[in-house]
Amino acid sequence: MISFQKLFGKTDVFFDLLEASSSQARQSVQALSQLLSQPVGSSPGLEAFSATRREDKKITQQIDEALCRTFVTELEREDIEALANALYKIPKTVEKIAERVAICPQRLEKIDFSRHIKLMDTAAEVVVTMIVELRKKLHLERVKSLNEKIQQVEGEADKLILDCLRELYSNEKDGVQVVILKDLYDLMEKVVDRCRDAGNVVASIVLKNS
């Protein structure tokens, strides 16, 4: 069991910032779900995604500044930096998806992304849980269980993209639409991969300090 008070000293600023970053990551996925549910022909706004990424970048910078001001014992500063960077990459990747959707929403009519969204949201939710649990005296087995759940979601995402590509390449479709969908499928899978990376960092931190 980890004594995080010993690891971080008397301040919980890192917990606050990392929790805020993970929350921004999940909010970006939820915003993408709303974007994809908008009727074709509407004007998709990207400000929510840009704002989320900017806020998360600000949080990452605050973590860097806090590391410069705070003496951290036992827990390596590289671990905090790695986790902050892994979290930042989630909304950054989601924003790329939103940008592509906004370019040509008419070509995505009747395309069902619900399974992709569900996997991304599940992975992001687990990451939020893992980060929140860092503030507590977390047992290694609990972290392993959460990390295994992300690994399972990542495996399901791999299978999903194969199914989507198989259907994409097997049926007659507009060539431009094929390129667009393949790009989107790849990015959506990458969002889950980013969540997996963040989960791996948390698991590594807990393992090293258990």
Residue 191 has pLDDT above 90, yes or no: yes
User: What pLDDT is attached to residue 119?
Assistant: 97
Rounded to whole angstroms, the Cα distance separating 194 from 70 reads 28
User: How confident is the model over 111-119, as a mean pLDDT?
Assistant: 95
User: What pLDDT is attached to residue 196?
Assistant: 97
By residue range, what is the domain housing residue 109?
4-208
User: What pLDDT is attached to residue 7?
Assistant: 46
Structural domain count, the chain? 1
User: What pLDDT is attached to residue 60?
Assistant: 85
Least confident window among 121-130, 152-161, 198-207: 198-207
User: What pLDDT is attached to residue 137?
Assistant: 64
User: How confident is the model over 86-91, as a mean pLDDT?
Assistant: 94
Most confident by average pLDDT, 35-44, 71-80, 124-133: 124-133
- Give 18's Cβ-side CA count (13 Å radius): 27
User: What pLDDT is attached to residue 54?
Assistant: 81
Q: In the block, which residue shows the tokens 């917990």?
A: 15
The CATH number of the domain holding residue 194 is 1.20.58.220
